[in-house]
Amino acid sequence: VNHEMLQTEKLAAIGQLAAGIAHEINNPVGYIQSNLNTLGYYTDKLLALVDGCKDENLAKQLRQQDYDYLKTDMTELLQESNEGIQHITNITSALTQFTRRSGFAEECDLQQQINTTLRVLQNEFKQKARIQRKYCDKPCWVVFDPAQLNQVLMNVLMNAVQAMKNFGDIVIETETDGELATITITDSGTGMSEETARRSTEPFFTTKPEGEGTGLGLSLVYNIVRRHNGTLKIISEIGKGTSVIVSVPLAQRHPSNKSITA
């Protein structure tokens, strides 16, 4: 393998990510700036009104409808600005996950980790999906940073729930096959077109309305799984649902894996 070539590819990937980040952040920064300008202008007008209370002529200038208009517009500008800031915060907090190394990888049991994640999401899921677990009959020990495994499961499960129109089914299946452990998360949601499925792991690719998706979820999943020597596969059909399949090597040395990997 040409090392220099890999380095160039890496730099190109970083450049692409940086351009994406700049684009995503510049947009909300742009309208927040313009909203602040408008709000500053309104503030001046309102201050003039306060002064004008001493001066009846000025007070008459600002009629009720002006006041109503100002009030609605200011509320909207503030709300939009807050959403923009939320969007930026979502992106930066997702991005900090990208740079985390799997230095804290340890032997952990997949089923146990899934149960931990599900406990956190249980309330959120109650009204939206029925969750079915189909675990293999043995614990599956893998070498994974538990916090990042939780992040992977959380992102995939949140996507699954968000893909439901009303109520739906989510099946979480674990399997071992030779030296691999596989988690398959299948939802009965909207499914994806071929193009959406292909692009779904691209950073910032999202089909969700602005403010609801950062487009970083699956790209983060892909990065984390790859860093743990695993693979990610997505199978989807519009109107039927989606399966996200994560495979990672079984922990070779763990005693309870011996019989499987031997």
- Which parts of this chain interact with ligand ADP (CB under 6 A)? 155, 159-160, 163, 187, 189-192, 196, 200, 205-208, 213-219, 242
- Helix, strand and coil content of the chain, in percent to the nearest 5, comes to 60, 20, 25
Cβ closer to ligand ADP: 142 or 185?
Answer: 185
Cβ closer to ligand ADP: 61 or 89?
Answer: 89
Smallest distance from ligand ADP to CB 147, Å: 18
Smallest distance from ligand ADP to CB 10, Å: 21
Smallest distance from ligand ADP to CB 93, Å: 13
Q: Which residue is nearest to ligand ADP (CB)?
A: 217
CA–CA dist 215, 209 (Å, integer):
11
> Which of the 8 DSSP states describes residue 167?
S
Cβ closer to ligand ADP: 28 or 215?
Answer: 215
Smallest distance from ligand ADP to CB 86, Å: 13
Smallest distance from ligand ADP to CB 157, Å: 9
Cβ closer to ligand ADP: 32 or 160?
Answer: 160
Question: Residue 257 is encoded by which pair of tokens?
Answer: 């894996």
Cβ closer to ligand ADP: 142 or 192?
Answer: 192
Cβ closer to ligand ADP: 20 or 215?
Answer: 215
First to last CA, the chain: 31
CA–CA dist 151, 146 (Å, integer):
9
CA–CA dist 244, 191 (Å, integer):
11
3-state secondary structure of 134: strand
Smallest distance from ligand ADP to CB 48, Å: 44
196-203 long-range contacts, Cβ below 8 Å, gap at least 24? Answer: 196/236, 197/234, 197/235, 197/236, 197/242, 200/234, 201/232, 201/234, 203/16, 203/17, 203/20
